[in-house]
Amino acid sequence: GDSVTQMEGPVTLSEEAFLTINCTYTATGYPSLFWYVQYPGEGLQLLLKATKADDKGSNKGFEATYRKETTSFHLEKGSVQVSDSAVYFCALSENNYGQNFVFGPGTRLSVLP
């Protein structure tokens, strides 16, 4: 079945550091890929998405590129802020009938001032 693997956390960075959170996936079809973010005490919210190979999703300074050849969707940000501290989830959704979101285990990011 489909699956998503993320780098284990927690990840601790200083403010203005460069961030990379690795994500790889296994899918039978041709999925869309997502990054969701969960701030403390809240539900998940969509950060960015990409629906086909070589697409780049971007939002709030975060970027991720859909790499079909390496089945990856790594999240990057050039300069993190304390307010970026959260848990980040990589997810996929297959292009088939019905809804089938598969989430990774999440990576906790802590940004120190």
Handedness of CA 49, 102, 22, 26 (dihedral sign): negative
When binding is defined by CB under 8 A, the residue of 17, 44, 65, 67 that contacts other proteins is 44
Place of tokens 């304390």: 82
Interacting residue with other proteins among 12, 20, 26, 45 (CB under 8 A): 45
Is residue 1 near other proteins by the rule CB under 8 A?
no
Q: Nearer to other proteins by C-beta: 20 or 95? A: 95
Residue with tokens 């848990």: 87
Q: Taking contact as CB under 8 A, which single stretch among the options 8-16, 18-26, 72-80, 98-106 is the one that binds other proteins?
A: 98-106
Tell me the window of 10-18, 57-65, 76-84, 91-99 that interacts with other proteins (CB under 8 A): 91-99
| Region for residue 11 given its phi and psi (left: phi exceeds 0; alpha: psi -120 to 50; beta: otherwise) | beta
Quote the tokens at residue 66: 């859909």
